[in-house]
Amino acid sequence: MESEPEVSDEVGQDRRGDRIADATGRGVAAGTRGVIAVGRGAGRLFRFARTQARADGAGDSGLYRLIELHAFNAAGDAAFAVSLAGTIFFSQPGQARGPVLLFLGLTMVPFSVIAPLLGPFLDRFSHGRRWAIGFTFAFRAFMCWVMAGIIASHPHADSPTFYATALGALIASKAYGIARAATVPRLVPQSQTLVKANSRISLAGIVGAAVSAPLAALAAHFGGQWSLRYAFVVFVGGTVLSILLPAKSDANTGEEKVGRRQPFVLPASIVFALRCNVGLRLLSGFLTMFMAFVLTNHPFESWHHSTAILLGLVLGAAGLGNTVGIGLSAALRRINPAAVVVVALIADAAMMVVAALLYGLTASVALGLTIGTAQAMGKLSLDATIQRDVGESYRTSAFARSETVLQLSWVVGGFLGVLLSIKKPELGLFLVAAITVAWTVVVLVRRSQPLRRPTPPPTPDLG
């Protein structure tokens, strides 16, 4: 009889073990179903994205390949930006003026070679445009891998080699933008306008960046080198996709052979659109740097302990505005690029005046939203104007000039933002508002001024 309690204990333990096993089995099964459900959801999202990329004739023309490629480009650039944010720029918020000014200054030097060298080079060898785009991805992958090694051995990223490789990656990113923009007219279907095609490509970039940025931030949690290694993987994937672009991406008929070329002058329509975009891009650079320092060091009342959220609201509004601008451009069936750039510049100038007069959280968020929307629509309209009014033989040179001017405008705006953030915020806003209004007046007054030299006749469309 003494053995009965032992038997009962053994039976109880067996039953408890069975219950634990059953619960574990149910948990594993539920987890498996969850993984399968997530996988199915991701699969549906991927198939939906692929379907949208092929819509409106993009599948037949091959434009969908460029749309998918741009998503990879934006994903890699987002990871690269996350890595820089944690190393060069705001590893110590509010105390990074020196490194930021140094980086902005160094950025102006290499971009000065893009227009006179890179554009004509890509024009003369545009029969290998797929390989040129692929090289920009491969080069950035290599730079990210090198930078990851530097950060692993120098966590503060103060090595001159780090700055040099970061600049190389930025130049390659701009080179990709130039080559990609020059490729669009050869792939755009007849059912789409150039503005809408550019908008769809930009929307794919937003999706790619939105998906990639959190993954890069998660990788950066374990160290800046890991987000850079993640960027390396993304850029390697982009390299492969570049080679898979349609063969007609390479302009090999009607191209001017290597040799002496006629001097190229931008048409008046492009000069006007570019001048408007200079103002838009300058304000974008100013807003980014100015708000980053002002809201960190001089936040609004009752926001002293939530500066990160405050900065996210203002700069997030600019990001939202960028998405809204791209979405509007994609939704509108017909859009006049010349009218868009004028309205965008006037809207920015007016909003700068309002933000200076009514400085506060609401005005700052509205300013960010306006600047983001105006910059997106203005840039898409500029790209469409170049694609429409410049022949194939000079198109890449035109994009190289415009990208160089716009990049330098952003850097100048960034300089103003860093320097004017030291004083009272309202004073900085008033000064930049005055500059913006003056520039708007100059652009509108000079709109009808003729060019002194004629442009070479555009070559006929080949697509």
- Encode 117-129 in three state secondary structure: HHHHHHHHCHHHH
What's the mean pLDDT in 290-298? 81
Residue 443 lies in a domain: yes
User: What pTM, to 2 d.p., does this model score?
Assistant: 0.72
Say yes or no: 280 and 424 in one domain: yes
Residue 234 has pLDDT above 90, yes or no: yes
Residue 31 has pLDDT above 50, yes or no: no
Average pLDDT score over the chain: 77
**What is the model's pLDDT at position 202?**
86
pLDDT band at 7 (very low <50, low <70, confident <90, very high): very low
Say yes or no: 103 and 174 in one domain: yes
**What is the model's pLDDT at position 382?**
92
Angle at 387 between CA 319 and CA 50, to 5 degrees: 55
Say yes or no: 251 and 183 in one domain: yes
Q: Diameter of the chain by CA atoms?
A: 116
Pairwise pLDDT comparison (351 vs 41), residue with the higher score = 351
Say yes or no: 318 and 437 in one domain: yes
Cα separation, 448 vs 57, in Å, equals 38
Query: Which range has the worst mean pLDDT, 16-25, 116-125, 321-330?
Result: 16-25
Cα separation, 351 vs 73, in Å, equals 32
CATH number at residue 189: 1.20.1250.20
Last residue of a domain, one of 218, 242, 261: 261
Alpha-carbon torsion, ordered 205, 211, 216, 217, to 10 deg: 120
Pairwise pLDDT comparison (310 vs 275), residue with the higher score = 275
Cα separation, 132 vs 244, in Å, equals 13
Last residue of a domain, one of 227, 261, 295: 261
Angle at 374 between CA 89 and CA 106, to 5 degrees: 30
* Region class of 56: left (phi > 0), else alpha (psi between -120 and 50), else beta: left
Say yes or no: 378 and 450 in one domain: yes
**What is the model's pLDDT at position 436?**
93
Pairwise pLDDT comparison (291 vs 306), residue with the higher score = 291
pLDDT band at 28 (very low <50, low <70, confident <90, very high): very low
Count helices and strands in the chain by DSSP H and E runs: 15, 0
- Contact partners, residue 215, CB within 8 Å, separation at least 6: 79, 230
Residue 106 lies in a domain: yes
Cα separation, 238 vs 76, in Å, equals 9
Residue 22 lies in a domain: no
Say yes or no: 124 and 226 in one domain: yes
**What is the model's pLDDT at position 452?**
47
pLDDT tens for 177-203 read 888 887 888 888 877 777 778 888 888
Residue 174 lies in a domain: yes
SS (H, E, C) 247-291: HHHCCCCCCCCCCCCCCCCCCHHHHHHHHHHHHHHHHHHHHHHHH
pLDDT tens for 392-441 read 777 777 887 888 888 889 888 988 988 888 778 888 899 999 999 999 99
Cα separation, 307 vs 293, in Å, equals 10
386 and 109 Cβ atoms separated by less than 8 Å:
no
pLDDT tens for 340-372 read 999 999 999 999 999 999 988 899 999 999 999
114 and 170 Cβ atoms separated by less than 8 Å:
no
157: helix, coil or strand?
coil
What's the mean pLDDT in 83-111? 61
Go through 250-283 and write b for each residue having 16 or more CB atoms within 10 A of its CB, e for each that does not.
bbeeebbeeeeeeebebbebbbbbbbbbbbbbbb
pLDDT band at 153 (very low <50, low <70, confident <90, very high): confident
133 and 399 Cβ atoms separated by less than 8 Å:
no
Tokens representing 367 are 């300013």
Residue 217 lies in a domain: yes
Q: Tell me which residue range forms the domain holding 117.
A: 64-261
Pairwise pLDDT comparison (226 vs 32), residue with the higher score = 226
Pairwise pLDDT comparison (403 vs 157), residue with the higher score = 403
Give kind and range of the element (H or E) at residue 41.
helix 3-53
Say yes or no: 249 and 311 in one domain: no
Cα separation, 105 vs 262, in Å, equals 33
Tokens representing 144 are 């990210």
Residue 102 lies in a domain: yes
Say yes or no: 72 and 177 in one domain: yes
Give the rounded percent of residues in the chain with a pLDDT score beyond 70.
69
Say yes or no: 253 and 382 in one domain: no
79 and 212 Cβ atoms separated by less than 8 Å:
yes
Last residue of a domain, one of 261, 283, 301: 261
**What is the model's pLDDT at position 167?**
81
Number of domains in the chain: 2
Given CA atoms 151, 153, 154, 155 in this order, what sign does their dihedral have? positive
CA 460 from chain centre, in angstroms, equals: 31
Say yes or no: 89 and 235 in one domain: yes
Residue 213 lies in a domain: yes
Say yes or no: 216 and 130 in one domain: yes
345 and 440 Cβ atoms separated by less than 8 Å:
yes
Residue 424 lies in a domain: yes
Give kind and range of the element (H or E) at residue 200.
helix 194-220
Listed in sequence order, the DSSP H helices in 93-193 are 97-111, 119-124, 129-153, 160-187
Say yes or no: 274 and 311 in one domain: yes
